């Protein structure tokens, strides 16, 4: 399975490290800083750089950026994503990202599922990422009503490989819960 990760900060870097620990995954990543890409490659957290030419190879794409940057990236790269691929974001709010990304996914025929790993640290950046950051954390998933159950099941399985526990709810339920916690 090939996993694409967009943004190698604390969360994206931790996903990369968790998935690269498993020999059955190939990890490709995009980051605006080439120094971070090189550091991730040196740490053996990624197998290569994610781009327009190889994003079609990804079975799963994780958008680990701020909401508007996720929307912008997905808008730009959607024509290159395979129809059987799944895209999930890692943003803290869901309604904006889901309202924007579901229509893009529908237009291009791939699956988008909103997601939010309930993990973090007071430290940021790839240099503070760890392969165990997501262990025992909740990963909130906000699928669209039309999301095929087999895609949701596969995504739960893939998220579980990082050590996280999946919880499924609507985007508005997610935002109410996370607002209350914050």
Question: CA distances (Å), 124 to each of 9, 43, 149, in order?
Answer: 7, 17, 34
What whole-number distance in Å separates Cα of residue 92 and Cα of residue 64?
A: 10
Q: Return the percentage of the chain with pLDDT > 90, whole number.
A: 57
How many CB atoms sit inside 10 A of residue 83's CB?
9
More confident residue, 123 or 82: 82
Residue 178 has a pLDDT of 67
The reported pLDDT for the residue numbered 81 is: 98
Q: Write the CA distances from 156 to 100, 141, 143, 168, integer angstroms.
A: 23, 9, 11, 9
Confidence at residue 174, expressed as pLDDT on a 0 to 100 scale: 66
Structure pTM?
0.90
- Work out the pLDDT band at 156, boundaries 50, 70, 90: confident
Q: Is the pLDDT of residue 150 over 90?
A: no
What pLDDT is stored for residue 141 in this prediction?
87
Is the Cβ–Cβ distance between 79 and 105 less than 8 Å? no
In whole angstroms, how far apart are CA 171 and each of 9, 92, 117? 24, 11, 14
pLDDT on residue 56: 98
Question: Model confidence over 8-57: pLDDT tens digits?
Answer: 999 999 999 999 977 789 999 999 999 999 999 999 999 999 999 999 99
What is the signed CA dihedral for 62, 67, 72, 74, rounded to 10 degrees? Answer: 30
């Amino acid at each position: 399975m090939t996993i694409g990760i967009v943004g190698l900060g604390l969360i994206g870097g931790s996903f990369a490290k968790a998935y690269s620990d498993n020999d059955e995954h190939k990890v490709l990543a995009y980051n605006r800083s080439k120094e971070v890409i090189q550091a991730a490659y040196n740490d053996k957290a990624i197998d290569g750089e994610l781009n327009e030419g190889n994003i079609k190879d990804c079975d799963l794409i994780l958008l680990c950026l701020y909401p508007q940057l996720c929307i912008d990236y997905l808008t730009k790269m959607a024509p290159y994503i395979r129809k059987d691929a799944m895209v999930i974001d890692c943003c803290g709010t869901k309604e904006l990202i889901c309202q924007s990304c579901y229509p893009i996914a529908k237009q291009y025929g791939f699956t988008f599922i909103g997601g939010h790993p309930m993990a973090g640290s007071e430290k940021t950046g790839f240099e503070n990422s760890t392969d165990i950051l997501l262990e025992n954390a909740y990963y909130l998933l906000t699928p669209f009503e039309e999301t095929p159950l087999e895609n949701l099941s596969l995504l739960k399985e893939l998220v579980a490989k990082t050590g996280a526990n999946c919880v499924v709810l609507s985007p508005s339920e997610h935002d109410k819960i996370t607002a209350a916690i914050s």
